[in-house]
Amino acid sequence: GAGVSQSPRYKVAKRGQDVALRCDPISGHVSLFWYQQALGQGPEFLTYFQNEAQLDKSGLPSDRFFAERPEGSVSTLKIQRTQQEDSAVYLCASSLDSPLNSGNTIYFGEGSWLTVV
């Protein structure tokens, strides 16, 4: 498709379960981002890739969170031993290049809605 695609759209996980969220960025986009959005809040930055290189992971809340983009295209966000506070929408976004400017803005996917019970 033409946009950023994420799967699954909805995931219910039992506390302690591991989850993996997938992101297919827009074709040809070099930069890929993961954001976390809690209910009623704005998205918060988690991590950023340029091609396969993870250049910034300063937003990952704990070592239970891990992201990869091994071939510079599809990315996976993995959350180990999920906790209730991990419940949120996980948004993936991509941009043609970095740094950001008027020609390289960030386009978001629809998000993966994670509920930990």
Pick the closest to residue 87 from 61, 62, 116 (CA basis).
116
The count of residues interacting with other proteins (CB under 8 A) is 30
> Does 68 engage in binding with other proteins (CB under 8 A)?
no
Pick the closest to residue 88 from 113, 66, 67 (CA basis).
113
Interface pick for other proteins out of 23, 43, 60, 79 (rule CB under 8 A)? 43
Residue number, 31 or 82, with CB nearest to other proteins:
31
The Cα 20–Cα 5 span in angstroms is 14
The Cα 10–Cα 47 span in angstroms is 21
Q: Which residue has the tokens 């419940």?
A: 87
The Cα 43–Cα 72 span in angstroms is 23
The Cα 89–Cα 20 span in angstroms is 13
> Does 45 engage in binding with other proteins (CB under 8 A)?
yes
> Does 108 engage in binding with other proteins (CB under 8 A)?
yes
> Does 52 engage in binding with other proteins (CB under 8 A)?
no
Per-residue contact string for residues 10-39; x = within reach of other proteins by CB under 8 A: ---------------------x-x-x----
Q: Which residues bind other proteins (CB under 8 A)?
A: 4, 31, 33, 35, 40-45, 48, 55-56, 58-59, 91, 93, 95, 98-102, 105-111
